[in-house]
Amino acid sequence: MDTWNVFWKYIFFASVTAFAAMSLWVIVFGFFDIQRMLGDLKNPDLTDDTQDD
């Protein structure tokens, strides 16, 4: 029982920390993505990098 408790504790705190860091990244870079997406939708031919590898 104690092993599981310690395991869940580490999982929980590591996950919340990772989520906090990811949220910050998404909020900042998502804003730039929105600018680019709206620009692309206005001028679809100018910024086409939608080709796959």
Partner 1 sequence: MESSVFSGGHFSLIDWLIVIGYVSISIFIGLFARRFISGVADYVVAGRHLGTALSVATMTGTEMGLITVMYSAQKGFTGGFASFHIAVIACIVTFLVGLTGFIVVPLRRTKAMTIPEYYEMRFGRPARILGGILLAFGGILNMGLFLKVGSQFIIGVTGIDPSGGLLVVVMTTLIALVLFYTILGGMVSVVLADYVQFTVLSMGLLLVVFLILNTYGWSEMVEIVKQHKGPSGFDPTIKGSGFGPAYMSWQGVLALVSCAIWPTAVTRALAGRNTKVVKRQYMFSSISFLIRFLIPYFLGVSAFVFVMTTGGIFQEAFFPTGNAEALDNLYAMPIFLSHVLPTGFLGLVTAAMIAAFMSTHDSYLLCWSSVIVLDIVNPLRQGKPLTDKGKVFLTRLIIVLIGIYILLWGLWYEGSDDIWEYMGITGAIYSTGAISVLSFGLYWKRASSTGAILALLAGFSAIFGLSKIRELLHYEAIEHIIGFELNAPVMGLFALTLSILAMIVGSLIWPDSPKQTGKGLS
For residues 29 and 36, the answer to whether their CB atoms sit within 8 Å is no
Give the chain's end-to-end CA distance (angstroms, integer). Answer: 48
Using CB under 8 A as the binding rule, the residues of this chain from 19 to 48 that contact partner 1 are 19-20, 22-23, 25-34, 36-38, 40-42, 44
Q: Which of 15, 43, 45, 46 binds partner 1 (CB under 8 A)?
A: 15
Nearest distance, CB of residue 50 and partner 1, angstroms: 5
Q: Is 10 in the site for partner 1 (CB under 8 A)?
A: no
Our measurement of the distance from residue 7's CA atom to the centroid of its chain's CA atoms, rounded to an integer in Å, reads: 26
